[in-house]
Amino acid sequence: MQRMRGCGTYFLWRFTSASNSMCEWRLEMLLIRAENIEFQPWANGGGRTRELLAWPTTTSWKVRVTLAEIEQDGAFSPFPKVKRWFAVVTGQGVELRFPTGNRMVVQGDAPLCFDGKLAPHCGLLNGHTQDLNLMAREGVAAMRLVQPDIKWLEPFDQRGIFTTGAGWLYPQPAGSNGGSRMRLEPNTLLWDIAGEGIRYVPDSQHSRAWWLGYSGSVA
């Protein structure tokens, strides 16, 4: 495995040999550390965002993962034709105001999924929060709260994990002799994980992690 770094992202490559006469480097995963990504301030001044992933490009993305710092009450930006997932990473949580009623989201809750065009008003429950967002145009996506040491089997084309604390990722089911474990540091997004039955074991029971999945194609 070789690592190439640029703009806060580690590109993980594996050297493979298809035959005695054919060898290649194959891009396998992206390892993105939040601390290496610059903040983008919100237009309304209510917060700032780190864009951890935008695929296939930052301007014409089909799937996007961000880590946001919400510093004051205000409305979310509208994203028409985008499905969103929202989870509280740190802080006391928020209350989101939708036309159908208000929804409170706090640490430990399952990610809230909603239509991006709704752009709910966000009220802080007790100060600043940090929040994880998954956004998807077209295709199929999901964000799940990780259950430690329980394998994740959903068959997405692209799969990732975001962690708040350090831990070990196992690309094979428990008890398997195949594959090798991978160390993840706090506040890291690992994207495009290969293998089935992957599982994550955090060092601390107080840290959290989320599975992220997306299936779609480039137009």
The pLDDT of residue 45 is 83
Cβ-Cβ contacts under 8 Å for 34 (sequence gap 6 or more): 50, 52, 67, 187, 188, 189
The pLDDT of residue 217 is 66
Burial class (CB in 10 A: 0-12, 13-18, 19+), 18: exposed
Tokens 């399952």 — which residue?
110
Among the listed residues 166, 135, 169, the one whose alpha carbon sits nearest the alpha carbon of residue 51: 135
24's enclosing H/E stretch is strand 22-33
What are 144-196's pLDDT values in tens digits? Answer: 999 999 999 998 999 999 999 999 999 754 445 545 789 999 999 999 887 67
The pLDDT of residue 68 is 97
The pLDDT of residue 180 is 77
Joined together, the tokens standing for residue 163 give: 């962690």
The pLDDT of residue 181 is 86
List of E strands, 34-139: 40-41, 47-55, 63-70, 74-75, 83-90, 94-98, 101-105, 112-115, 121-124, 129-136
Joined together, the tokens standing for residue 208 give: 């959290």
Supply the pTM of this predicted model.
0.85
Q: Which residues of the chain have pLDDT under 70?
A: 1-28, 172-179, 195, 217-219
The pLDDT of residue 197 is 84
Cβ-Cβ contacts under 8 Å for 129 (sequence gap 6 or more): 69, 70, 88, 89, 90, 91, 92, 93, 94
